[in-house]
Amino acid sequence: MGFIEELKQFAAKGNAVDMAVGILVGGAFTKVVNSIVADILMPPLGVVIGGTDFKSLQIVLKSTTKDGVETVTAAIKYGAFINSIVEFTIVVLCAFIVVKLMNKVIALRMSDMRAAMEGIQSAADLKKATAKFDDIKRIID
C-alpha cells in the first residue's frame, strides 16, 4: 500500500480530524491559561513582592548608553521564565485532572460491564452486556 493510500485511510478513520480538533482546543486553552497567568495571577504577586512586573525581571548582561539613555542589549529574562513555569504548571494540572476523570469514568463503566457479565443467563442478557461493552469502546475511542 502506497503512502497516499495510507494517508487517505488515516484521514478517513477520523483520527486526523480528532487530532486537529485537539490541537485547536489545546491552542485556545493555552491562550486562556497564558492570559490568566499574565493578567490575573502575576500582577498581584508582583505587588506583594514589591510592586514589580514579573515580565520585566531580568539580569542585564550587557547594555549600551547613548545620549544618556541606557539600552539593554543582552539580558537573562528570568521573570518571563517564571511566567512560563506557572503557565506550564497550570496546563499540566488541568491535563492531569482531565485524565484522572476519564480514568474514573472508564473504571465505572468497566465495573458495570463486569457486573453485567456475571449475570448472563440467556441470549438477551448477553445482548445487554455487549451493548455496555460497546459504550465503553465508544468512550475509549
Q: Is 39 or 117 the better-scoring residue by pLDDT?
A: 39
Task: Tell me which fold the domain 3-140 belongs to.
Answer: 1.10.1200
Integer Cα distance of 56 and 65 in angstroms: 19
Three cell numbers, residue 76: 537573562
- The structural domains of the chain, with segments of one domain joined by +, span 3-140
pLDDT in tens, 28-86: 888 888 888 888 888 888 888 777 777 788 999 998 888 888 888 899 999 889 888 98
Look at 15-19, 49-53, 82-86, 117-121 and tell me which has the smallest mean pLDDT.
117-121
SS3 content of the chain, % helix, strand, coil (to 5): 75, 10, 15
Integer Cα distance of 113 and 133 in angstroms: 6
Q: What percent of the chain has pLDDT over 90?
A: 7
Asked if the model's pLDDT at residue 133 lies above 80, the reply is: no
